[in-house]
Structure 1
Amino acid sequence: MVPVRINEYIIPSVFAGALNQGVTVPVFIRYDGQSESSKSKQKIADATLSIKDGSFYVNKIILAELPERTELSGKLKQALTEVSSKSLGGSNKLTINNDAFLVLEPRSFHLEMVVGKDAFEASIIPRSSIMGESSVNNASNILAYTLGSYHNKYENSGSTSSYITLDNTTGVSEHHFNINASIYGLGTENADAQLYRSMYERDFEGRRFAAGMVDTWNLQSIASMSALNSSRIYGVSYGNKSSTKIENETLSLIPITVFLPAAGEVHIYREGRLLSIQNFPMGSYEVDTSRLPFGVYNVDIEILVNGKVQNSRTAQINKASNRYSSAQSDLAWQHFGGMLQYNKSNYRDRRTSSQSETETWIMGGAVSSKKEWLSGVTLKSTLYGFDRNAVNDSEIDVVFNQLVAANQQLLFANDGSWSNISSVSLNAPNGYGSLWATRHTSSVGQRLPMQNSDSFSIGMTANTGNVIPFPGSLTVSRTDNNYTGSSYINADYSQSLLSNRYASVSMRTGIQRYYYNNSDSIRDKYINLDISLPLSTWFSAGLSSENGNMLANAAVRKNFDNSAITQAGASLSKRIKSSDESGYRSDDFSTTGYVSYDTAYNSGTISATQTSDKNRSVSLNSQGSIGWAKDSIALGKNTYTSGVMVNTNFIDAGSMTAQINGKSYPLTGKTNYISLPPYAEYKVELMNDKTSEHSIDIVSGRQSNLVLYPGNIGVINPEVKQLVTVFGRVMKSPGEAFSFVDLHNHIGKTRADERGEFAIDVDKRYPVITLVEPGGGTCEADINLHNARGAIWIGDIQCQMLQRFTSNSTEQRHDKA
């Protein structure tokens, strides 16, 4: 092979031979307006170059994985895929289309694609995404439970009431079956069990199918079905209202895009204050607004390349905190039908009501749509029929801007029933306060189990921190029910009095009045002084009055970190004045104490109350779950319907940490179950526990990515070594050391010094050290590492060659690694 001349360049023979076969070179992208003196370092594709007939040819171009959301236009992508055996010609240049061309620098074989602004499409951050396939293909089961028990004793009599709610979910991939039931009156002759749900469900790729015994929410979850009371439905449901659609509601309603002619920065300012700095390569991108403050406001955007401002403009951020995401502006729908059991109640007489259980059919559909009008508009409607009734529930939710929002709910039925609920909320600028109002009217027709209603609520909150030096808040509300003739008035005021490094002091005061049948029946007043101290301690003392009975109150609460006890508190109430105006007489005193706990296996609260009239009560609320997967079963403290099981298989006491989506969970023992919400993607990373003396080497299985659906338990089986650094001395006989001999085990080796002293890491699973003499002689020592942590001194090892001994040193010292 001889050198090849192409234009004015000579290609060496060896390289020419490779070019005849085709050589892959990177393609770098450069904006047409940028200087040609600096070569681009932003790779966009790979090209196959060859030589033929005295010219360079581009045989094909393969787009690389585009960096940082860089997005080429569809026309340019299509043109690049159609490049096949195209000559670069005498100028070493190839035109792709009107927006791009290739240029080759033969000396360095630097191939650039020079593009114009129209070569890019704005890379928009997805407002929603669809979950992928489940990471769990095997069957797993989660039994969540909530237990409550209450015991009350008064003088010589007492009563106990207990219940347990069980929620069992069995899952295989994206399929799961759920049973929900409760047992009331545990341990008594009147124990009663109720089955509330028995349902198969598959929610996958934006489509949800459910069948079985369900409630109205599981039947459809788009809009209200307020004409139905407590009901049991045997039916099916299908639609695109899916939990697998993950929406990002932290972004601005309208995307803000920028174009960078080269790699640079985007600076975002609000009223002269820098809010964000974002780095991008060359291209057109949407600015990430997820970390910007909520609200509707203008920002100034500057585009900098090499420290110089290339462009600037003003844009509007629209992140009203109460708006809905625009990600699902497409129509959401659900169809449902089946058999209905419901209480056919009659509330047409104001003073009496009657009930009868009825079995009938039910069928209907629901739709909703989210629009980008104003700051977000949501439309919902359900049309359904049962028995002889046809009902329409509709709702419109409008967010005008960050200050004003309104909601309208309507119900109409063919029996003449109707309902109207109107709500509006106003937020004052600069956080001065808010105002809200709700009006509810309804009329009972001939058949629907509804009640007449005529009520109005109005309320306001004023923040006084903008007016006086100390921050405070005043809340006033009033509710009038014209149908029952009742009214409720409430006023609360809180004021910060002191805040420094030693304590925070605030005052709370309020008054409540309840009128029934237009008579002043209940009057409550209170004033409290709250003190928060360092070390998570809170104390409150004050006075309260109920219908003339005046009480002195005191309460204390303390939080605990890194403890099974998370919070403990107590309160004392003492009557200091009695009222002769009411038949109600409060206790002379009462005390209450409680403890909240949170362990790896269960969480809950225990409380007890003692009053002056010999009334005692104790209550327990507890929750947790039991997870089963493959050959493992373990307890968890939460009641979510999916989770992660980590089999550490520690042979001795040990601890490590699982970090799941940035949150840390402690791992102890051989098997750990962590209860997690379903329909989510999780990144799991195993690591050493920074607060533990145990030294753990995670050989494999450190990182895992899991997609979990209901009933799924992702099982992680890492290879874990529990390491102990062993210090000791090897001896031939009493008083004579093995000097400069090699010692090893299955994970490492070391050498004893002239006095026979050594240090070596040992895996607790294989607590054996082997000594090897230069002449080839060996001996082994079994080491007792039970309960050893970090480091241990084992003393002298008496070693006779070709024999196996056990270390029996009585001098042992544990040190933190």
Structure 2
Amino acid sequence: MQLLKGPRTLGACEENCSDLLAIHYNLQDSVLSIVTSQAEQNGAKQKYHARPQGNSNGLIVNNFLNAVGGNGQGVTGRYSVDALGSIGQWGFSGSLLTGLSGGKHSDQQAYAIPSLYVQREFEGQFFRAGVFVPDLASGVRTPRTPGGLAATTLGVLYGTSDTLVIDGQRPSLYPVYVTANRPSVVEILRDRVLIFAQPVQPGLQVVDTYSLPGGIYEVEVRIVEDGKVVSSQQELIYKPNNWRDPTQPWRYALFAGQERDIVRDTASHALSAGAAVNYLATPRVVLGATAQRGGGANVFGISIDWQISELARCYGNVFRSSKHGMGGDIQLLFPYRSGSLSLSHNRSWQHASKRNRSQPGTVHDTALTWSHRLSPTSSLTSRATFSRGRSRGFGGELSLSHRHAVFGVDCTWRVSLFDRPNSSSAPSRNRGAELGLSIYLSKDRNNYNASLGVSDGGEGRNQFASMGVRRELDGGFFTSVGANASIDRLGFGLGGTTQFQHEFVRGDAYASRSSNGGEAGGGINISSTVVASPDAIGVSGLSNLATSQAAMIVDVETESRDIKLHARNMNGTVIDMTRGRNIFPVSAFEKGSIQYYFDQTSAPAASLQPTTSSYHVNKGGVAYQKVRVMKTVTVMGRLVTHDRAPVRAVRVASDVGRAVTEADGFFAIEASERTPHITVERGGARLCELALDTNAYLREGDSLIVGDLVCAESLSATTSEGHDNG
């Protein structure tokens, strides 16, 4: 009522407004409506995901093995482990790196543990303790600084977090309100396309903006009465994608600790500390700052992220390092309906560095990139650069691609022209042209490509040509195979690639023969994921588990190997399931459910128990569920007493179904095919149990005709001495 202490003008507020936006008075029902800037910010909608209250335990371990080798090179390999787990309300993370560098004379091995820490999420904040690389990744956009990340630190990290924020559950920062004269419909259009509609009552009302897409964009708000537009107004929606909660203008992250290498203990043990902060100055402007001490250097930086309009965005950054020098960069992006234009410039005044082999002086790079879609089948990409550093001078690239069909076959042509400087030590330029063709045969899943071109660089003029083929495979260990051949002034080259995926492992491999001297080489990349819960452990080769923050193990028990099962999560993703152990990713912190069902093309006479399961786990948590597939038959018969009187209106139950007998005692119920067992109840009291022998009755397809079954009103019962198979 503080807003009504003095006289107020009806309508939109224009002066001395504070949080007031508009006032409306309805003469018909004498209702005064007031809209403030907090109209949708204090709604009752839940803002954060509730953390799991029970035990949310689990472990997800991703294993990666990479190896390369060749003539005279030895074998170089790496094995790494990334682990993510949960114990109660705490999550933990760890990683291990081992490497082997092969050479002609000796091999070198290296080990490292970049991270090993515990972390807990709160509503809007998080806390981390242990060994980690302080990347300050907590939803804060840290200004770019030289020298890379700080050294591995033993310490603590605290900051703001959006991990528990519910996606989409945020309104526009500034409310949108309308005034209707009678029951109407509000329509919101973006680029003349309807994106939301809401019924409204007479008077001043706030439009629900929770359901609108994220971003900062203009919309047209219409009031429609009886199919006619009676008013229209332009409004601006403020839901910045880079800031999920505009009501919290500050984001920050702080860390402190000691530089440590817990394997070799070669770090300096020096103090390592830093902070990063972002401030939402306006819905379009985010300011940033950072200060860090580590690696023998003091680093400072500031930044600005400015969304000028829907068609323009700017990001600027300035930094200073006591070890590397100072510099800055600016990026401008201009997206439009058919493409985008971007301009970037960075400049640094660097100190001399033996490690990076850099000389003191000024280094800068400028680039202008334009991408444009000429038509639904043609596109143009161009890039102009100017550099002063390792390479000096102007450069340019132009690429034109066109897709069309020839005799029903998809073909893509590509023409590229380039002229760019070589390194500062090479006076000549690298220029040339290339013509490429790709053909995709969808029927046999083959992809063919060929290219030819000419280039002129520091080693003279070079003409080259190449061709290749790739085939997608189904139903086996290998998912694709490919081969390519090339020829240039140095000689003839060959290569081959393959991708593979198994129940327990996935990866790819390649082999090649170089046109320069005919040297042979190859490599392989293998990965797999181990998932463990308190109830089960499993190994999977699915690629989507490598980036998953939580998982679910489902054991499918079935007597048949031919039954096809599917699982559907809340996002609509369908996953094929097999007999035995199945593992698939789920969302962390978010309550969800998974539905199990048979393939509709070959639905068997069987039942699923259960048909759905729910989960609610922390980051690193693993849920478990056992699904039983039971082959069934439809038991058809009639319940009678010893004197052949029908047993009517009683409940008949089996392991998979329920039914009620009709007035003449007839019933039909689904039961287990292997051990059909029926229980008869009346008023909650058990009358009898019937264990049926499938070999003693007439079988017609998926139906079992049992005739008359005698049910005495006692805890025991028998089948009729003479059953009717007719």
Aligned to 1:781: 693
RMSD across aligned C-alpha pairs, in angstroms?
A: 5.1
- The answer to whether the aligner puts 1:140 opposite 2:58 as a matched pair is yes
Q: How does 1:103-122 map to 2 (within 5 A)?
A: 116-118=32-34, 122=39
Matched letter for residue 715 of structure 1: Y
Alpha-carbon distance, 1:284 to partner = 3.0
Deviation sequence 1:442-493 (CA, Å, 0-9, x none)? 3328999995551212122142617xx962213223241x233545735131
Distance 1:657 1:270, change over 3 A: closer
Task: Give the counterpart of 2:538 among 604, 616, 634.
Answer: 634
Deviation sequence 1:485-531 (CA, Å, 0-9, x none)? 54573513123252589233332122443412251264454210123
Aligned to 1:278: 197
Distance between the aligned counterparts of 2:369 and 2:348, measured in 1? Answer: 22
Distance between the aligned counterparts of 2:560 and 2:248, measured in 1? Answer: 55
Q: How does 1:766-805 map to 2 (within 5 A)?
A: 766=675, 780-781=692-693
Distance 1:310 1:596, change over 3 A: farther
Aligned to 1:421: 328
Aligned to 1:434: 341
Task: Give the counterpart of 1:371 among 250, 264, 281.
Answer: 281
Contact map agreement 1:136 1:172 (CA 8 A) in 2: no
Distance 1:220 1:656, change over 3 A: closer
Alpha-carbon distance, 1:117 to partner = 3.5
Aligned to 1:549: 462
Alpha-carbon distance, 1:441 to partner = 1.2
Task: Give the counterpart of 1:594 among 498, 504, 509.
Answer: 498
284-293 or 233-242: bigger deviation: 284-293
The DSSP-based 3-state class of the residue aligned with 2:135 is helix
Alpha-carbon distance, 1:382 to partner = 1.5
Distance between the aligned counterparts of 2:357 and 2:171, measured in 1? Answer: 41
- The answer to whether the aligner puts 1:163 opposite 2:78 as a matched pair is yes
Distance between the aligned counterparts of 2:245 and 2:137, measured in 1? Answer: 25
Alpha-carbon distance, 1:122 to partner = 4.2
Alpha-carbon distance, 1:231 to partner = 1.5
Task: Give the counterpart of 1:714 among 592, 602, 623.
Answer: 623
Distance 1:678 1:445, change over 3 A: farther
- The answer to whether the aligner puts 1:465 opposite 2:374 as a matched pair is yes
TM-score normalised over the length of structure 2: 0.73
Matched letter for residue 666 of structure 1: D
Contact map agreement 2:556 2:629 (CA 8 A) in 1: no
Distance between the aligned counterparts of 1:290 and 1:777, measured in 2? Answer: 54
Deviation sequence 1:614-649 (CA, Å, 0-9, x none)? 644443323332221122112232122311223444
Distance 1:462 1:361, change over 3 A: closer
Distance between the aligned counterparts of 1:791 and 1:614, measured in 2? Answer: 67
* Structure 2: tracts of 5 or more residues without a match: 1-18, 638-645, 661-666, 680-687, 710-716, 721-726
Matched letter for residue 398 of structure 2: D
The DSSP-based 3-state class of the residue aligned with 2:374 is helix
Contact map agreement 1:136 1:712 (CA 8 A) in 2: no
Aligned to 2:714: none
Alpha-carbon distance, 1:420 to partner = 2.0
Distance between the aligned counterparts of 2:432 and 2:46, measured in 1? Answer: 49
The DSSP-based 3-state class of the residue aligned with 1:216 is coil
544-553 or 432-441: bigger deviation: 544-553
Distance 1:625 1:765, change over 3 A: farther
Distance 1:114 1:185, change over 3 A: farther
Distance 1:532 1:287, change over 3 A: farther
Contact map agreement 2:694 2:704 (CA 8 A) in 1: no
Alpha-carbon distance, 1:544 to partner = 3.4
Aligned to 2:87: 172
Matched letter for residue 337 of structure 1: A
Alpha-carbon distance, 1:397 to partner = 1.5
377-386 or 539-548: bigger deviation: 539-548
- The answer to whether the aligner puts 1:643 opposite 2:551 as a matched pair is yes
Distance between the aligned counterparts of 1:262 and 1:450, measured in 2? Answer: 75
Q: How does 1:54-133 map to 2 (within 5 A)?
A: 116-118=32-34, 122-123=39-40, 129-133=47-51
Matched letter for residue 483 of structure 1: G
Contact map agreement 2:133 2:149 (CA 8 A) in 1: no
Distance 1:781 1:251, change over 3 A: same
Q: How does 1:569-718 map to 2 (within 5 A)?
A: 569-575=481-487, 578=489, 585=490, 587-597=491-501, 601-610=504-513, 615-636=519-540, 637=542, 638-639=545-546, 640-653=548-561, 654=563, 655-676=565-586, 678-694=588-604, 697-700=607-610, 702-704=612-614, 706=616, 708-717=617-626
The DSSP-based 3-state class of the residue aligned with 1:217 is coil
Distance between the aligned counterparts of 2:221 and 2:369, measured in 1? Answer: 37
The DSSP-based 3-state class of the residue aligned with 2:84 is strand
Matched letter for residue 442 of structure 1: W
Distance between the aligned counterparts of 1:500 and 1:709, measured in 2? Answer: 52
Contact map agreement 2:77 2:99 (CA 8 A) in 1: yes
Matched letter for residue 374 of structure 2: G
672-681 or 452-461: bigger deviation: 672-681
Paired residues in the alignment total 642
Contact map agreement 1:248 1:327 (CA 8 A) in 2: no
Deviation sequence 1:246-297 (CA, Å, 0-9, x none)? 55499766543445677653223456x4423523364834344866697744
- The answer to whether the aligner puts 1:508 opposite 2:432 as a matched pair is no
Matched letter for residue 379 of structure 2: G
Contact map agreement 2:150 2:295 (CA 8 A) in 1: no
Alpha-carbon distance, 1:434 to partner = 1.0
Distance 1:554 1:389, change over 3 A: closer
Distance between the aligned counterparts of 2:373 and 2:611, measured in 1? Answer: 55
Aligned to 1:206: 124
- The answer to whether the aligner puts 1:231 opposite 2:151 as a matched pair is yes
- The answer to whether the aligner puts 1:493 opposite 2:399 as a matched pair is yes
Aligned to 1:736: none
Aligned to 2:246: 327
Aligned to 1:530: 438
Alpha-carbon distance, 1:399 to partner = 1.7
Matched letter for residue 531 of structure 1: I
Q: Work out which of the two has the higher radius of gyration on C-alpha atoms and give 1 or 2.
A: 1
Distance 1:114 1:702, change over 3 A: farther
Aligned to 2:11: none
Distance 1:450 1:202, change over 3 A: farther
Distance between the aligned counterparts of 1:564 and 1:128, measured in 2? Answer: 47
Paired-residue identity, %: 14
Aligned to 1:89: none
Contact map agreement 2:91 2:619 (CA 8 A) in 1: yes
The DSSP-based 3-state class of the residue aligned with 2:412 is strand
142-151 or 302-311: bigger deviation: 302-311
Alpha-carbon distance, 1:392 to partner = 1.6
Alpha-carbon distance, 1:201 to partner = 0.9
Aligned to 2:683: none
Matched letter for residue 538 of structure 1: N
Contact map agreement 2:298 2:323 (CA 8 A) in 1: no
Distance between the aligned counterparts of 1:186 and 1:689, measured in 2? Answer: 50
Aligned to 1:44: none
Alpha-carbon distance, 1:702 to partner = 1.6
